[in-house]
Structure 1
């Protein structure tokens, strides 16, 4: 096993994956959620559009209970918390490189618990992938115009998603979203 390339931002990662389009793909792309310029969630979406078969493993400091299921739905092949043991990272990379998904014990428990529950217990768990993505961006202080440009949507579409999020989560404004996201460890 060797490191073929390194990137410190989402855009660099996308550029490196794009350069591989004419050749052999990377065995695994290891992504963090918190990166400068473009977060791991958005980077994952772009990678999935460019190369759907690319193995992507998320290694992040964010809690599995808050992000893992949404990222797996968005196309990640696995999710690990940075607090895991180094040998687990190696196992996960090897599993994803073979074309499998990797679920840590914590992620498997989170997934199993979500199957046991009749409905979402946290308001953000009932959001669709796109609603959750826009919720996190709004809660982080981004404005709809910037979000629209970044996600290649119209401002009206972003505003519609915002209205749905506010309604589903029984909130009235962006400050409510920010407070909730910080309180639940969804943003820093």
Structure 2
């Protein structure tokens, strides 16, 4: 029997260890590699054949959000299941739009993780009822979406880093872009979100529950 090959990406070793043990209790699943950051996740894709990657978004250095687009470009057929501590309404819709195959909160029933992995391995997306409701709300009332939902994938990455207090230079280095390019993204973000300063961005992100 061919097993579903899984990569685990989370900066907490204890969580990865627990997930590996639980996942491999199912005879059709096997964990083939682990990573503790977005950059390591990209390396994992290069070095291992996988069917599904189970990835957190909040990690030091290069986050899961930063890594998602690069992983999608390198492995377009790889299923990516986001397992996050943030509630669905904070990130799920944005990340599914950016190419994630599913989004689960870490408070979910562990059995649901296995169900999601199996469905994604079959080439489908795994959409929970909560996420389906959020997607339907956005389709029905696109004009009432939150300001950050109007940002492009790259703008959203830059927005979160600015909100966390990173400088334009820091962001340019982390994302391998020029300072001028990041400054341009910052200007677009401010315009789209009708905000005036980095402090405004931080306040918005905290209020929206996008950062801790």
Do Structure 1 and Structure 2 share a fold, with TM-score over 0.5? yes
Is the Cα–Cα contact under 8 Å of residues 169 and 179 in structure 2 kept in the other structure? yes
Please name the residue that 1:10 is paired with: 38
SS, match of residue 17 in structure 1: helix
CA contact (8 A) 1:145 1:155 kept: yes
Structure 1 portions without partners, runs of 5+: none
Q: Are the aligned partners of 2:84 and 2:104 in contact in 1 as well (CA < 8 Å)?
A: yes
Query: Contact 1:139/1:177 (CA < 8 Å) preserved in 2?
Result: yes
**Matched ranges for 1:105-120 at <5 A:** 105-120=129-144
| 1:82-101 → structure 2 map (5 Å cutoff) | 82-101=106-125
Separation in structure 2 between the aligned mates of residue 80 and residue 14 of structure 1, nearest angstrom: 21
2:138–2:145 CA contact under 8 A, matched in 1: no
d(CA) in 1 for partners of 2:182, 2:33? 34
- Structure 1 residue 43, shift from structure 2 partner: 1.5
Give the counterpart of 2:97 among 73, 79, 83. 73
What's the offset of the Cα at 1:118?
A: 3.9
Aligned residues, how many?
Answer: 184
Report the CA distance between 1:186 and its aligned residue: 0.6
Q: Give the CA deviation at 1:3.
A: 1.6
Unaligned runs of 5+ in 2: 1-28
Quote how far apart the aligned CAs of 1:78 are. Answer: 0.8
Are the equivalent residues in 1 in contact too, given 2:162–2:168 (CA < 8 A)? Answer: yes
Residue aligned with 1:67, SS: helix
CA RMSD, Structure 1 to Structure 2 (Å): 1.3
Counterpart of 2:209 in structure 1 is 185
Q: Which runs of 4+ in 1 moved over 4 A?
A: none
Q: Secondary structure of the residue that 1:4 maps to in structure 2?
A: strand
